[in-house]
Amino acid sequence: MLLAINIGNSNIDLGLYQDLSLIHHWCVSMDPNKTVDEYGLLFTQLLASEAVEVDQVSAIILSSVVPNIMDTMPIVCKKFFKQSPMIVGAGVKTGLNIRYDDPKEVGADRIVNAVAVKENYGTPAIVMDMGTAFTFDVIDVKGDYVGGLISPGIKITADSLVASTSKLPKIEIKHPRHLIGKNTVQAMQSGLVNGYIGMVDYIIKAIVKEMDLSIDQTNLVATGNYAELIANLSDYPIEINPLLTLEGLCLIYQRNIA
């Protein structure tokens, strides 16, 4: 079995593959202060909840956008699974030509997502990760990764709004029934959610124009905690795939053992 682990700023996604088919997946909170033993026990308990023994895991692939935890996670893999993980980064084959000024600057999650979209949806494509940050990554008609955009995520914006004002309350991030709020909570929810829908739609339109494409030609794929909330309300046909990063990790693992 292959254990795929993606470490984001807010969550850790884990996927267990058998014969390259996903059989179990989990999402847990990311805490950079957790120790090797705490993470090891957590992961083994997740496996045990599905009656999977630790020694059934024969390989691990790992991607992370959190540098601090990369001192911890390889030790977790070696101590609890007796495996040295394959880490997405320099020297790992992705099958993706990255046309960035410095390819090393591109986050591992963005590369992994682009690999999954190129393989499973085709190109050209816009890959959107709607999580702690909102990222937009562009794959051209030749299948090359050409760059993208990064903006603060909706929760970061909501937290900043509350922290920077005296009277605005913390709110649940959800789409209100009406655009025009009748109270402060509704007004904040509408401004946040509709503002991000507008941002997403504008950026899609602008990317398509800059790349000299049409919407009909371009595959639009979204993942991340807020993909269901935002992408479902877009004017564009965005495919939502919550398991996109795990799919990309599995593909990269295959390409490096072939």
Residue-by-residue pLDDT tens, the chain, 258 positions: 999 999 998 899 999 999 889 999 999 999 989 999 999 999 999 999 999 999 999 999 999 988 889 889 999 999 999 999 999 988 899 999 999 999 999 999 999 999 999 999 999 999 999 999 999 999 999 999 999 999 999 999 999 999 998 889 999 999 999 999 999 999 999 999 999 999 999 999 999 999 999 999 999 999 999 999 999 999 999 999 999 999 999 999 999 997
pTM for the predicted model, two decimal places: 0.93
- Say how many residues make up the chain: 258
Paired tokens of 147: 């760059």
Supply the pLDDT for residue 19.
Answer: 87
Question: What number of CA atoms fall less than 13 Å from residue 85's CA on the CB side?
Answer: 26
Beta 133-139 vs 145-152: how paired, if at all? antiparallel
Q: How far apart are the first and last CA of the chain?
A: 16
Which of 109, 137, 212, 216 is catalytic? The answer is 109
What secondary structure does DSSP assign to 155-224, as a single string? HHHHHHHHHT-SSPPP------SSSS-SSHHHHHHHHHHHHHHHHHHHHHHHHHHHTT--GGG-EEEEES
**Distance (Å) of CA 161 to CA 150, 156, 157, 166, 189:** 19, 9, 6, 10, 12
Task: Quote the CA–CA distance of 181 and 171 in Å, as a whole number.
Answer: 13
Residue 13 annotated to the active site: no
pLDDT at residue 240, rounded to an integer: 98
The pLDDT, as a whole number, for residue 50 is 96
pLDDT for res 87 = 95
Q: How far apart are CA 159 and CA 170, in angstroms?
A: 7
pLDDT at 151: 96
Q: What is the pLDDT of residue 255?
A: 95
pLDDT at residue number 167: 87
